[in-house]
Amino acid sequence: MAICQNIRSKRRKVCIGDLDRVITLENRSIQPPTDATDYTILFTDETAGGQLPSAEIFALIETVTGEEIFDGHNIGTPITHRIYIPYIEGVTAETWVKLENGERLDIADVENLDERNEFYKLRCTLTGDQSKSNNSI
């Protein structure tokens, strides 16, 4: 006869005091080339599109080494940062993060911690800063 055992779920949470860095959430759009072969990438704050209540938010940022995500074609994407932010509806892997120092992070995936709609964990890849030609505004 089977014995019933309790299964306890862990409750992952972020302390509000740990959200001590300001980041900017951005949308990316690619413009086709006009006279050259290089396309242009434009970034706009999420507030410009009206999708989020505020583009600048407080976050907890961790740097990571040795973590990689594989897609459906077995191509690996190295994860360089884990960012924890409060739950904001509309944040997806299509959203980008701009750090205070101007570096941009491409969000590889978004995890809603324990499906409680309290905090997101964003796993991101460092792509560069706005001084690079294809990362400029």
- Of residues 53 and 102, more confidence is placed in 102
Of residues 122, 123, 128, 125, the one with CA closest to residue 78: 125
| CB neighbourhood size of 86 (10 A) | 15
Q: What percent of the chain has pLDDT over 70?
A: 74
What is the CATH code of the structural domain delimited by 17-29+40-127? 2.40.10.270
pTM: 0.75
What's the pLDDT at 46? 58
Q: How many angstroms separate the CA atoms of 5 and 118, rounded?
A: 28
What's the pLDDT at 48? 45
Bridge partners of 62? Answer: 82
What's the pLDDT at 135? 47
pLDDT digits (tens, 9 = 90+) for 27-58: 877 777 777 667 666 666 655 455 555 578 99
